[in-house]
Structure 1
Amino acid sequence: MAFFNTLSTLFLCTYLLFLSSPSISLSTSSSSSSSSIHDLLRSKGLPAGLLPKEIKSYTLSENGLLEVFLNGPCLTKYENRVFFDSVVRANLTYGSLIGVEGLSQEELFLWLPVKDIIVDDPRSGLILFDIGVAHKQLSLSLFEDPPHCKPQGGLRNHVRKEKGFEALR
């Protein structure tokens, strides 16, 4: 009888440990190679250039939560300027990134968070960006190749100098 109590206690402890460790129970794919995140995007019907080249690593959970880790916050440009935080999260399904966090797009001098990115029909050549107050359709061709992303401070100072303003730092 004592053997069965010890065995059931051991089983219960193992089960609780498994539940309390999300990295064990949720992580199904992990990579430190930026090319493989871009391959993952392509395999899910999205263009590889949605994310910059400067990807440090990523994780994809069983429930579809994609977490992308960059070397640090950075800016790049597609049609308008885009800001990537050091961590970008979204739910990845075929043809879409839903509930995006850590990505903003400049529109008319305002920085608006990108909420969803959707490719409904790849044959249309369009990709839809939900920026909260509006939906914006852009050409898929803008996102064919991953862009270089410059550290946040460097690009801002460069823009200020072009506009004739002194750097505030």
Structure 2
Amino acid sequence: MAATLWFLEFTILLILPFSQCDSIHNLLVNKGLPAGLLPKAVKSYNLDEEGHLEVFLDQPCLAKFENRVYFESVIRGNLSYGELTGLVGLSQEELFLWLPVKDIIVDDPSSGLILFDVGVVHKQFSLSLFEDPPDCKPDVQGSLLLRSGSINFTIV
């Protein structure tokens, strides 16, 4: 009986650290990033030992923070503490243009700011905008998206 109880406690202690990262949102928080960087609609994700992250959604979708953000069905990047860099599959609307988000960085959490690098400009936002994972709506509401050098129109 004592051996069985000891084995159960040992098993729980082994599993507990892995169960804390059961969702991509918990993983982001454990890496010093806000949970709301990715939408609720994440189907699954893969993270390898080098920090290469792949996030899978059922379909591309749009979410709204301060600006609209477009998530492709697969988002890739490199995850390290306070940083999601080398992003592919994430775009942000700026002045009627869709620009790819290259990096997302939280340098100093006490500042309350998060930095989005969209290539031509670095945008700072309040971390509070990204506390909760947003709802993500399919891209059917009439948007102009610039992706892979092509222009896609969707008519309402």
- Tell me the TM-score normalized by structure 2: 0.78
2:126 to 116, 139, 156: 139
Amino acid of the structure 2 residue aligned with 1:96: E
CA distance in 2, matches of 1:50, 1:148: 11
Partner of residue 33, structure 2: 46
CA-CA distance at 1:63 after TM superposition: 0.9
Contact 2:33 2:82 in 1 (8 A): yes
State the Cα deviation string for residues 96-147 of structure 1 (Å, max 9, x = none).
0000000000000000000000000000000000000000000000000000
What is the match of residue 113 of structure 1? 100
Q: Does 1:59 align with 2:46?
A: yes
> How far apart are 1:36 and its partner, in Å?
1.1
| Matched residue, 1:127 | 114
Aligned runs of 1:1-169 on 2, under 5 Å? 36-153=23-140, 155-156=141-142, 168=155
Aligned counterparts of 2:77 and 2:47: Cα–Cα separation in 1: 10
Instruction: Work out which of the two has the higher radius of gyration on C-alpha atoms and give 1 or 2.
Output: 1
RMSD: 2.0
Alignment gaps of 5+ in structure 1? 1-29, 158-166
- Structure number with higher helix proportion: 1
Q: Is the 8 A contact 2:115 2:124 kept in 1?
A: yes
Post-superposition shift, 1:168?
2.9
Moved over 2 A (4+): none
How far 1:156 sits from its partner (Å)?
Answer: 2.7
Distance 2:23 2:88 in 1: 21
What residue in structure 2 maps to residue 26 of structure 1? none
Partner SS, residue 27 of structure 2: helix
Give 3-state SS (helix, strand or coil) of 2:43's partner. Answer: strand
How big is the shift at 1:35?
6.5
Unaligned ranges ≥5, structure 2: 1-17, 144-153
| Paired residues, number | 128
Q: In structure 2, what is the Cα distance between the partners aligned to 1:145 and 1:72?
A: 20
Q: Secondary structure at the match of 2:25?
A: helix
Could you state the TM-score of these two structures normalised by the residue count of structure 1? 0.72
Identify the structure with the greater strand proportion.
Answer: 2
